[in-house]
């Protein structure tokens, strides 16, 4: 496991702030611009992270990078999706939600441990972004 030391857990603080700004921006109509900006940043950064993990898993021989199931929530395809309009992406968003839950299930059954304290706010924010994409497609806005 991860050894915790006394002091401020800055990664947790950062992910909570990202989640708060994202969720408020996505949920409140008057904060739509904030929601769009945060959704873009979240999709772009997780997509970039997913591409990095993909490259390290398949393009290198680092043993520590093999079987890295973090790509289930840090989807490399998010890098492209970040630049696309929300329309016609509801099936992608539904699949992404399922993959977030698969990632959490793999953690629970012990296949791959996740730093849940730090990662949970980020995953929650992603779920809200994917939910907003689905809602936008259903409402036709």
Residue 2 confidence (pLDDT): 61
Residue 46 confidence (pLDDT): 98
Structural tokens at position 50: 């997913």
Which residue is it, tokens 């539904």?
Answer: 94
- pLDDT tier, 77 (very low <50, low <70, confident <90, very high otherwise): very high
Question: 35 exposed, middle or buried (CB, 10 Å; 0-12, 13-18, 19+)?
Answer: buried
Residue 88 confidence (pLDDT): 81
Residue 141 confidence (pLDDT): 59
Q: Is the pLDDT of residue 52 over 80?
A: yes
Residue 87 confidence (pLDDT): 77
Structural tokens at position 92: 């992608």
- pLDDT tier, 4 (very low <50, low <70, confident <90, very high otherwise): low
Q: Is the pLDDT of residue 62 over 80?
A: no
| Whether this model's pTM surpasses 0.75 | yes
Q: Is the pLDDT of residue 19 over 60?
A: yes
Structural tokens at position 26: 């996505």
CA–CA separation, 131 and 128 (whole Å): 5
The phi, psi pair for 115, rounded to 5°, reads -75, 80
CA distances in angstroms from 89 to 38, 82, 84, 136, listed in the order given: 17, 11, 9, 9
- Please write the tens of the pLDDT for every residue from 84-136: 887 789 999 999 999 999 999 999 999 988 999 999 999 999 999 999 999 98
Averaged pLDDT score across all residues of the chain: 91
């Amino acid at each position: 496991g991860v050894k915790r030391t006394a002091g401020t857990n800055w990664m947790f603080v950062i992910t909570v702030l990202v989640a708060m700004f994202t969720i408020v921006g996505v949920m409140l109509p008057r904060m739509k611009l904030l929601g769009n900006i945060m959704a873009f940043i979240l999709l772009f950064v997780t997509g970039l992270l997913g591409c990095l993990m993909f490259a390290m898993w398949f393009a290198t021989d680092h043993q520590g990078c093999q079987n890295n199931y973090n790509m289930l929530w840090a989807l490399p395809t998010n890098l492209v999706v970040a630049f696309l309009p929300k329309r016609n992406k509801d099936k992608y968003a539904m699949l992404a939600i399922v993959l977030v839950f698969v990632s959490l299930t793999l953690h629970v059954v012990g296949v791959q441990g996740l730093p849940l304290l730090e990662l949970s706010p980020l995953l929650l924010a992603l779920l809200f972004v994917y939910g907003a994409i689905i809602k936008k497609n259903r409402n036709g806005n």
